[in-house]
Structure 1
Amino acid sequence: MNLSVSFTTGEPIYLQLREQIKNQILSGALPEGELLPSIRNLALTLKISVITTKRAYDELEQEGLVASVSGKGTYVSGSNKESIREIKYRQLEDRIKAIVVESRNIGLKPQEVVQLFNLFYGEENA
């Protein structure tokens, strides 16, 4: 697992950590059942607070992406398929909203956007 934090961006460290782990889970880079580094080891490696690391892990657990097993560690959740699907669905909705805004800005009609979608969707299946 490749993680890094920036102390100069202004974004809270726990959010940086949470998003990086979340993205690796969603992309499949961290597969189901994968053991994450212990909170203490990760904090030591990244030179951050244990509390910061714990907060990131706790939020990932609330999202259903990881599960903590007392005395064993934190694992990429095996029951997260629906959570991952929901997160990816929301991300897709956000991208579609951006496309709608952009297409309106350049004066495309809905039918033209659908035609583009169908064209590219067909290319992916070919």
Structure 2
Amino acid sequence: MTSYDPYQPDQQPGYPPSAPVPQQWGTQPYPVQPYAPQPYPMVAYPMLRTSGMAVAGMVIGIVALVLFWVPFVDVLLGFLAVGLSWAGMIQADRPGFTGKGMGIAGLVCGIIAVIPALVVMLFFFGLFAAGAACGISC
């Protein structure tokens, strides 16, 4: 008696030898052409990073536009947006950084937010000054 491998059904007694395996789907009937090298080497460009200060300046500028009616907070946010956006625009001019457009947007939003904030703040303090000078009878 011959020994047989249980994992090979062709060798088990009582089974006929297996038929040849047909070609599988997705295989190519012709040999694959080798990859042709490039005639010149590819240049690796560094990844560009967005300036975080420009993004922060733009976000704070938008928040300052929304909160223009809050007297002290908006002036603080407006000047902070102008400063961060200015620094972000300078950083975006360096090689490897982007985001100059966001810096410009934050600068414009910050400047536009400071103007009505100053008007509201002057009106706010003008009412209290007139009320203290005039008293209750005015």
TM-score normalized by structure 2? 0.26
Which of the pair is proportionally richer in helix? 1
Larger radius of gyration: 2
TM-score normalized by structure 1? 0.28
